[in-house]
């Protein structure tokens, strides 16, 4: 029985070769080259290579009819003209208005600082009056 | 030079014509993906239209963040496909194309090959695979995407895509053998040693 580590490495190699074969097929190259490189994997590779070649012939690009394409395009553009201003307005409605947020934060900070200063002055005055008494 | 997707998407939020350009760029790809998933031109057209209308409705919410616009569009199409499958499993319908397929395919796979309909047999076998495997084969062979791009659409790593591709080929081969499809035995590679 094969060492599990060897089996794992073989699986990884198999995946890499299948990936490389897909690339070779896409470029119109000759994939039998991999059998010469990896003769010990040939029995496992051959049926999968054959299937991939078949898939390349079966799964070819298909196109919608020109009539469908045009009619959908016209419908989408009409919808876009109606929806895009509404969507932009919706987006703008909930988008944070940074100038207002910064302004509010600045006013809040100023009020807090003034409050703390007023408190300190009042305490100082209280202490001074107690000292006089 | 053609404007890239990100720039077009940004413009399309305010300019309907820019959305039209995105549509032109992807309509054939999305249609092909849906055609192979459904096996019907009518359903593929219906789902293609829904995909683009949904994209239009949600364009202001889309943010790139590592997910290209094309991958986002395929995800919309994939989700609509899932709903379509759920609906069809509750309301079974047979399209005219499916009827033609069954009729031509018949019960004898060898006759199907004689009638040069191996393609339909393979397509039927592909459609019997789990959705993620169908998606992978279509993106790889029809759309000619790299594993990185497929990973972005499917939300998987490149390594996971590579591994899934291997398992998919093995499963599909088994499925075709179970259907008595002969090409796997007939098409043996040439012996280089000779």
In this prediction, residue A98 has a pLDDT band, given cuts at 50, 70 and 90, of low
What is the distance in angstroms between the Cα of A5 and the nearest Cα belonging to chain B? 17
Mean pLDDT over A116-123 rounds to 87
Q: Is B62 on the interface with A (CB under 8 A)?
A: no
Predicted ipTM?
Answer: 0.76
Residue B175 has pLDDT above 90, yes or no: yes
Structure tokens at B40: 């019907």
In this prediction, residue B34 has a pLDDT band, given cuts at 50, 70 and 90, of very high
pTM of structure: 0.73
Q: Give dist(CA B12, CA B16) in Å, integer.
A: 6
B103 phi, psi to nearest 5 deg: -65, -45
What is the DSSP code (8-state) at residue B129?
Answer: S
The SS3 of residue B156 is coil
Cross-chain CB nearest to B122 (options A54, A61, A72): A54
Structure tokens at A102: 């910064």
Contacts of residue A36 in chain B, CB cutoff 8 Å? 192
Residue A12 has pLDDT above 80, yes or no: yes
Closest CA to B133 of B179, B88, B101, B174: B174
The SS3 of residue B39 is coil
Q: Is B65 on the interface with A (CB under 8 A)?
A: no
- A78, B4 in Cβ contact below 8 A? no
- A35, A11 in Cβ contact below 8 A? no
Residue pointed to by tokens 């060492």: A3
The mean pLDDT of chain A is: 85
pLDDT tens digits, B69-125: 999 999 999 999 988 877 776 665 544 454 444 444 444 445 444 545 788 889 999
pLDDT tens digits, A24-82: 998 888 888 899 999 999 999 999 999 999 999 899 999 999 999 999 999 999 999 98
Secondary structure of B124-135 as H, E, C letters: HHHHCCCHHHHH
Q: Which residues numbered 88-147 in B keep a CB inside 8 Å of some CB on A?
A: 118-119, 122-123, 126, 137-138, 140-142, 144, 147
pLDDT score at A126: 86
Considering Cα of A44, then A49, then A50, then A51, what sign does the dihedral take?
positive
Q: Give dist(CA B6, CA B64) in Å, integer.
A: 8
In this prediction, residue B186 has a pLDDT band, given cuts at 50, 70 and 90, of very low
The SS3 of residue A99 is helix
Q: Give dist(CA A8, CA A89) in Å, integer.
A: 56
CB contact under 8 A, A61 and B142: yes
């Amino acid at each position: 029985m094969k060492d599990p580590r060897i089996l794992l490495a073989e699986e990884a190699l198999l995946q890499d070769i299948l990936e490389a074969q897909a690339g070779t097929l896409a470029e119109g190259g000759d994939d039998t080259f991999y059998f010469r490189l990896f003769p010990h994997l040939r029995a496992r590779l051959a049926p999968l290579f054959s299937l991939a070649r078949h898939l390349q012939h079966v799964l070819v690009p298909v196109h919608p009819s020109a009539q469908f394409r045009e009619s959908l395009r016209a419908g989408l553009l009409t919808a876009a003209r109606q929806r895009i201003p509404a969507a932009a307005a919706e987006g703008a409605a909930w988008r944070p208005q940074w100038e207002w947020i910064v302004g509010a934060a600045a006013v809040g900070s100023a009020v807090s600082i003034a409050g703390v200063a007023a408190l300190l002055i009042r305490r100082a005055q209280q202490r001074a009056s107690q000292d006089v008494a | 030079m053609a404007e890239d997707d990100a720039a077009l998407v940004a413009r399309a939020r305010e300019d309907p014509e820019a959305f039209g350009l995105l549509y032109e760029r992807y309509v054939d790809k999305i249609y092909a993906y849906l055609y192979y998933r459904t096996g019907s031109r009518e359903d593929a057209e219906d789902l293609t239209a829904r995909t683009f209308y949904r994209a239009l409705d949600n364009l202001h919410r889309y943010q790139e963040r590592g997910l290209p616009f094309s991958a986002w569009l395929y995800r919309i199409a994939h989700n609509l496909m899932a709903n379509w499958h759920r609906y069809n499993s509750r309301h079974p319908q047979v399209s005219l194309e499916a009827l033609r397929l069954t009729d031509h395919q018949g019960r004898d796979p060898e006759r199907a090959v004689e009638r040069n309909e191996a393609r339909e047999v393979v397509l039927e076998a592909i459609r019997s695979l789990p959705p993620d495997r169908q998606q992978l084969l279509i993106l790889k062979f029809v759309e000619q995407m790299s594993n990185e791009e497929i990973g972005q659409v499917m939300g998987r790593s490149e390594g996971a895509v590579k591994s899934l591709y291997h398992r998919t080929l093995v499963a599909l081969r088994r499925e075709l053998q179970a259907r008595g499809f002969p090409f796997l035995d007939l098409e043996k590679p040439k012996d280089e040693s000779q």
